[in-house]
């Protein structure tokens, strides 16, 4: 199992080779790879360091084990909205085993803790608690941040995954937005009649994620989650970089 972590402190991707029973990097002893992987069947997972650190602090605040059946998912596996934070590895769906009152207590603790960027209201998810550590600002009114050549992050992994999922070209997933990723984005923009600038803003994210979301589930692309390997393709080509650290 390959786990890619965007280290927000160093603005670099880190690669870990772990088994399902191992502890997630930066998660102390409170989250196993199996829990983070949840219902995904992917052999490669990604998140960022601050999401793991927020988890550790929230878990300590809660004071007892938290049931984590769902966290990460690949965009091709679907099951969430087009620009879901689950595809970026920054969000958790937890506490399905608690009663309504306990869930309400967790929701309100998550909201008041200041640890999470977003906590879903009870009206949207009454039988679980969703919180996430999404990067801001979003390129659209909600969703993923703007990316361009030089960006390094778990959101670049989502971008590369989505481009592969629609079958455009196999570029590998390394979280580094170098010239190879930029060229693939331009090809996509050209094919879709979008402004060809290699920048992944609102329109490009919206079009790409709509095409990629749930695509494996619909059987429109034969590539399985288990077969997409990570390759550090763009890493050697990076020169100027931008940080999504905040």
Please report whether residue 130 would count as binding Zn ion according to CB under 5 A. yes
- Of 32-40, 61-69, 89-97, 230-238, which segment contacts Zn ion by CB under 5 A? 89-97
Cβ 89 to Zn ion, closest distance in Å? 12
Give the list of residues 6+ apart from residue 7 with CB closer than 8 angstroms, or none. 13, 14, 48, 49
Number of residues engaging Zn ion in binding (CB under 5 A): 2
Q: Which is nearer to Zn ion, 93 or 161 (CB)?
A: 93
* 195 in Cβ contact with 10 (< 8 Å): no
Where helices occur in 85-213 by DSSP H, the ranges are 100-113, 154-165, 179-192, 202-212
Residue among 93, 164, 174, 234 that touches Zn ion (CB under 5 A): 93
Interacting residues with Zn ion between 163 and 192 (CB under 5 A): none
Q: Which is nearer to Zn ion, 130 or 133 (CB)?
A: 130
Cβ 124 to Zn ion, closest distance in Å? 9
DSSP per-residue codes, 185-244? HHHHHHHHT---SS-B-HHHHHHHHHHHTTTTTTTS----TTT------SGGG--S-B--
Query: Which of 3, 13, 62, 10 has its CA nearest to residue 236?
Result: 13
Site string for Zn ion, 38-77 (x = CB under 5 A): ----------------------------------------
**Which parts of this chain interact with Zn ion (CB under 5 A)?**
93, 130
């Amino acid at each position: 199992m390959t786990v890619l972590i965007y280290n927000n402190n160093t603005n670099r991707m880190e690669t870990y080779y772990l088994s399902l029973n191992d502890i997630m990097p930066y998660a102390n002893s409170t989250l196993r790879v199996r829990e983070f992987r949840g219902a995904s069947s992917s052999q490669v997972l990604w998140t960022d360091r601050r999401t793991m650190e927020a988890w550790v602090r929230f878990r300590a605040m809660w004071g007892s084990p938290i049931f984590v059946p769902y966290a990460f998912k690949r965009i091709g596996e679907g099951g969430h909205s087009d620009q879901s934070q689950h595809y970026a590895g920054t969000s958790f769906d937890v506490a399905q085993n608690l009663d309504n009152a306990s869930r309400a207590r967790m929701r309100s603790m998550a909201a008041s803790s200041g640890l999470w960027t977003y906590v879903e209201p009870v009206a949207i998810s009454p039988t679980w608690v969703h919180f996430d550590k999404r990067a801001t600002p979003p390129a659209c009114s909600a969703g993923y941040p703007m990316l361009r050549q030089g960006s390094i992050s778990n959101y670049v992994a989502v971008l590369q995954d989505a481009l592969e999922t629609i079958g455009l070209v196999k570029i590998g997933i390394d979280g580094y937005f170098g010239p190879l990723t930029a060229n693939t984005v331009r090809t996509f923009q050209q094919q879709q009649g979008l402004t060809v600038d290699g920048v992944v803003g609102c329109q490009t994210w919206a079009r790409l994620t709509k095409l990629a979301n749930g695509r494996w589930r619909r059987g429109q692309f034969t590539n399985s989650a288990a077969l997409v390997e990570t390759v550090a393709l763009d890493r050697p080509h990076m020169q100027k970089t931008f940080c999504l650290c905040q």
